[in-house]
Amino acid sequence: MKFFIDTANLGDIEEAEALGILDGVTTNPSLMAKEGITGAENILNHYKKICDIVTGDVSAEVIATDFDGMVKEGEALANLHPQIVVKLPMIADGIKACKYFSDNGIKTNITLIFSVGQALLAAKAGATYVSPFLGRLDDISTDGLNLIKDIRQIYDNYGFESQILSASVRHTMHVINCAKLGSDVMTGPLSSITGLLKHPLTDSGLAKFLEDYKKGN
């Protein structure tokens, strides 16, 4: 399973990249705003900075909600850097734009997916990645992991090549369960990745080894 980090914070991206296990980055307008990145030119320059840090795909989201606007913005984003993946909303014109980009060899990520039907449409349109938001489903007392499971089954049934990018991952168990279900990618905050490092028996075991070493040296 690929590990993406969901942030616009360059420090977090650098820390995840330094671990040697980072496969890509996802961002959105909310994450940009959180880091104080505003204005079209500043946002584009920030995407370039992210691409300079990582070697994998970087999802950059369009703001337009109409087909022509999404194509214009998406082509500008794709021309920024070869690692850019154009992130499109799960709406009718988003599906149309996805098909257009797919036909023209531009990678896409269909975002804000909350149902199997939406994921099916995105795959039919040739999306590189589809992003079901499991955490947001959990927030409304719906098991988001069931959505990942159902999408996996349908994609396997028909051999769709779109990669399931489990989004809105909140914690380490989301990561583990997505891996169990066969999600191709997960994207979450730095804490969901670094949290996998932790186990009390590892800490106590290492402390014991060091203690015993000091006794004889």
* pLDDT tens digits for range 110-157: 999 999 999 999 999 999 999 999 999 999 999 999 999 999 999 999
pLDDT band at 29 (very low <50, low <70, confident <90, very high): confident
**Percent of the chain at pLDDT above 90?**
97
Domain residue limits, the chain: 2-216
In this structure, what token pair is assigned to residue 171?
A: 């914690």
Q: Which of 87, 149, 208, 214 is catalytic?
A: 87
> What angle in degrees, to the nearest 10, is found between the helix axes of 40-53 and 67-80?
40
Say whether 87 is catalytic.
yes
pTM of the model: 0.95
User: Looking at residues 70-99, what average pLDDT do you find?
Assistant: 98
For residue 22, give every residue at least 6 positions away whose Cβ sits within 8 Å of its Cβ, in sequence order, or none.
Answer: 3, 4, 5, 13, 16, 54, 56, 193
Burial of 99 (0-12, 13-18, 19+ CB in 10 A): middle
- Domain 2-216: give its CATH architecture: Alpha-Beta Barrel (3.20)
Whole-number average pLDDT of the chain: 97
